[in-house]
Structure 1
Amino acid sequence: MGLTVGVSGCTSQSQNSDVVTAGSYKTAVYPLDQYRVSYEQLTTLTRAVAVVTQKCMRRFGFDVPVPANLSNGKFQGMDDRYGLADADHARTLGYHDKKPTPVEVTYESRFPLEATAVLQGVDPTTGQPIPATDARGVPAGGCRKEGIRALFAGTASESANGDLAEDLIRDALKRSTADDRVQKLIKKWQECGKKAGYEWSTPHNVRVDWSNKSIGTPKPNQEEIDAALTDVRCKNESGLLDTWVSVNVEFQKKSQETNSEKLRQYKAENDTHLKNAATILTAG
């Protein structure tokens, strides 16, 4: 599966006894993905909160439309859990992210400064919560909080399980990265890069370093593309990529088993939130 671009010199997968061959970057099924809130679902949840917030703000004389390009607070870029791993992406975009979607904005940013007290439920001069005895009748936590309460209605708490799935996914990746099976192959990936003229520290650092270099440039130059292709080639030829995927999946399975009840509750809560959001958006 290794690419032929650049200077070769890595051990092939078939000859590498350190390689765990069960994984595949393109086809891997991650056990914890089923519990994640998708980008589209998160946008729906965010819009529902904004709609309730809008209705509340109108009661206080602030009528601000919910923007079409509403931000859900989540960046939608390349999958870089293993650094750069997609050869097609490397060939066309180097370390650049895919063409960005139209700039998104938060609903809160559309309000004038004088709306802060009602929006956030906080006195801007003192930083203290507006008391329930306030004559304006500002809801606890402001109109923003009223929107959140409407979304979370029927669940035990607004943050009963926090962002459980994402926390467990990050933990599994961290543990897989530190695993000896992966660390051995990171060294082989580094050796492969060195033979091609590159000094690499970690797969993530290489991706971040190039991303920082390319800030403000609309497309990659040939130097970046060559480096990106070599990076991906070395991940494949060393066996790092598939092994890392396999070990990550392994840790996710263990995490799923250990946290099965929490995950069940977490999914049930998210399902309720999505139903609440659908009701809110249907009512308009």
Structure 2
Amino acid sequence: MTACLRRFGITVDLGDPAPPPFSQNARRYGLADEARASRLGYSTPEITKRPSRPDLPAKARKAAWGDGPAKIRGRDLPEGGCVGEAGRTLNAGAEPAGTLADRLAFTALEASEKDRRVRAAFARWSVCMRRAGHAYATPRDANRDRRFIDGPGHRIGPAETAVAVADVRCKQQVRLIDIWASVEAAYQKRLIARHKTELERDRAALQTRIDTANSVLHRPLK
């Protein structure tokens, strides 16, 4: 993007991309960090306060996303602006990006959530929560409590943090995450075996994109 913008006489510091707010599976089974639960409850300020686009000057914004005239300084903007050009550069030579792995991951999670072993762990967790004074059938119900949903004017209060801390402690007490993760892993392995050929093709396409990205990163800016 920086190299593309320079072709139009625009020099801006795009900065580093915002890091992911959580590691990939940090909240896969809901809250798991008691220290965080005691401070933030179910709130996720890392997500709600994350900007969707870099804050660029108007001219740079038009060139970056193609929002505006088709030409800048007599030069034709690439389709989709410099963002579009960057995407095409990074995907060059690779098969179209697949979503199979993501879809299988969701399928495995959904199946594990209905598994009798996980449902039994949910029931034990629910009993533990009831003893702490909170009535929820599953961790999803606690996480989706309308009182605790991030939004304009939402304030984290003692009611939310009390439920969140009890949630984490009860998960630990009944070993819910250990059970849920092992059950889901079994479903994942079955799906991986069933879709091995397609997944290997997607892995090769991903490796092509990684190789291209590394090549771009070592290319001097013009």
TM over 0.5: yes
**Number of the residue aligned with 1:57:** 5
| 2:178 match | 242
Displacement, 1:211?
5.1
Q: For residue 79 of structure 1, what is the aligned residue in structure 2?
A: 26
Matched, 1:212 2:149: yes
Query: Which of the residues 181, 187, 194 maps onto 1:251?
Result: 187
The alpha-carbon deviation at position 198 of structure 1 amounts to: 0.9
- The one-character-per-residue Cα deviations of 1:85-117 (angstroms, maximum 9, x if unpaired) are 345655x646367996xx8656x5333334444
Question: What is the one-letter code of the residue matched to 1:109?
Answer: P
Instruction: Report which of the two has the higher share of helix.
Output: 2
What is the percent sequence identity of the aligned residues? 29
**Does 145-154 or 205-214 show the bigger shift?**
205-214
Determine the C-alpha separation between the residues in 1 that align with 2:219 and 2:51: 23
TM-score (norm 1): 0.61
Is the aligned partner of 1:269 residue 2:209? no
Partner Cα distance (2:121, 2:138) in 1: 11
Secondary structure of the equivalent of 2:76? Answer: coil
C-alpha deviations, 1:144-177, integer Å up to 9, x for none?
Answer: 11111111122123x3x14x43332222112211
Q: How many residues align?
A: 213
Of the three residues 139, 142, 148, the one matched with 2:87 is 148
| TM-score computed with the length of structure 2 as normaliser | 0.75
Kept in 2, the 8 Å contact 1:54–1:64? The answer is yes
Cα distance change on mapping 1:179 and 1:152 into 2, 3 Å:
same
* 1:249 Cα offset (Å): 0.8
Question: Tell me, which stretches of 5 or more residues in structure 2 are unaligned?
Answer: none
Alpha carbon RMSD of aligned pairs, Å?
3.5
Give the partner amino acid of 1:80: R
Q: Distance in 2 between matches of 1:200 and 1:137?
A: 58
Distance 1:203 1:88 in 2: 18
Paired AA for residue 149 in structure 2:
N
Q: Contact 1:151–1:273 at 8 Å: present in 2 too?
A: yes
Q: Using the alignment, how far apart are the partners of 1:105 and 1:197 within structure 2?
A: 38
| Contact 1:194–1:200 under 8 Å retained in 2 | yes
> Offset of 1:199 from its aligned partner?
0.8
Q: Structure 2: how far apart are the matches of 1:148 and 1:123?
A: 19
The letter of the residue matching 2:141 is N
Deviation at 1:226, TM superposition (A): 4.8
Residue equivalent to 1:50: none
SS in 1 for 2:92: coil
What is residue 173 of structure 1 aligned with on the other side? 109
